[in-house]
C-alpha cells in the first residue's frame, strides 16, 4: 500500500516534518507540483530524483518567505513610527512575493536549473553584492 505522500495529487505540500520525501520514496511520488511547507522536507537525493522526473518543487526559501516578509514590513513601520492598514501590507507582500517568484522562475529557465537552485543562486548573488557594496 502506498503511503499518503505517494497518492496521486496535483499539488503536494509536505508541511510538518523534515526529510519525509527521501531516496526511498521519491520515485513513487505522484504529484504535478511540490511546495515545501516544512523545513527541508525533501532530501538532496529525493530532490535530484524528483527533478529528473520533471516534478517542479517550490523551495521553502520562497514558499515560507511570506511571514518573514511581513515581519520585515512590521519592522519598517516600527522604525518609522508608521502604522499601515492591512490592505497596504497585503499589497506590499503580494508585490514582493510575486517579484521573488518571477525572478526565481526566470533564473531557473535562463540557467536550466530547478527552482531550488535558482532561488539559491539569486540569494548567494545578493549576499555577494551586499558584501562587495560594503567594501569587504
Per-residue model confidence as pLDDT tens digits over 19-71: 999 999 999 999 999 999 988 999 999 999 999 999 999 999 999 999 999 99
Predicted local confidence at residue 1, as pLDDT: 41
| 127 inside domain | no
| Number of compact structural domains in the chain | 1
CATH (domain of 51): 3.40.50.720
| 101 inside domain | no
| 8 inside domain | yes
DSSP secondary structure letters along the chain: ---GGGS-EEEE---S-TT-B-TTTGGG--EEEEE--SSS-B-HHHHHHHHHTT--EE-HHHHTHHHHHHHHHHHHHHHHT----HHHHHHHHHHHHHHHHHHHHHHHHHHT--HHHHHHHHHHHHHHHHHHHTT-
Distance CA 69, CA 48 (A): 29
* Mean pLDDT value across residues 69-76: 96
Q: What is the CA radius of gyration of the chain?
A: 18
Assess whether pLDDT exceeds 70 at residue 2: no
Which residues, listed in sequence order, are joined to residue 31 by a DSSP beta bridge? Answer: 9
| 13 inside domain | yes
Per-residue model confidence as pLDDT tens digits over 86-130: 999 999 999 999 999 999 999 999 999 999 999 999 999 999 999
Q: The pTM is what? A: 0.86
| 32 inside domain | yes
| 19 inside domain | yes
Domain that holds residue 12: 1-58
Amino acid at each position: 500500500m502506498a503511503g499518503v505522500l505517494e497518492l496521486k495529487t496535483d499539488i503536494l505540500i509536505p508541511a510538518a516534518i523534515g526529510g519525509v520525501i527521501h531516496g526511498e520514496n521519491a520515485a513513487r511520488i505522484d504529484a504535478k507540483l511540490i511546495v515545501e511547507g516544512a523545513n527541508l522536507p525533501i532530501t538532496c537525493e529525493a530532490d535530484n530524483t524528483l527533478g529528473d522526473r520533471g516534478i517542479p518543487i517550490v523551495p521553502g526559501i520562497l514558499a515560507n518567505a511570506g511571514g518573514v516578509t511581513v515581519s520585515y514590513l512590521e519592522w519598517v513601520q516600527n522604525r518609522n513610527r508608521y502604522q499601515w492598514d492591512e490592505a497596504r501590507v497585503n499589497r506590499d507582500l503580494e508585490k514582493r512575493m510575486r517579484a521573488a517568484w518571477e525572478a526565481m522562475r526566470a533564473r531557473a529557465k535562463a540557467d536550466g536549473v530547478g527552482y531550488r537552485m535558482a532561488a539559491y543562486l539569486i540569494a548567494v548573488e545578493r549576499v555577494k553584492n551586499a558584501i562587495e557594496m560594503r567594501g569587504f
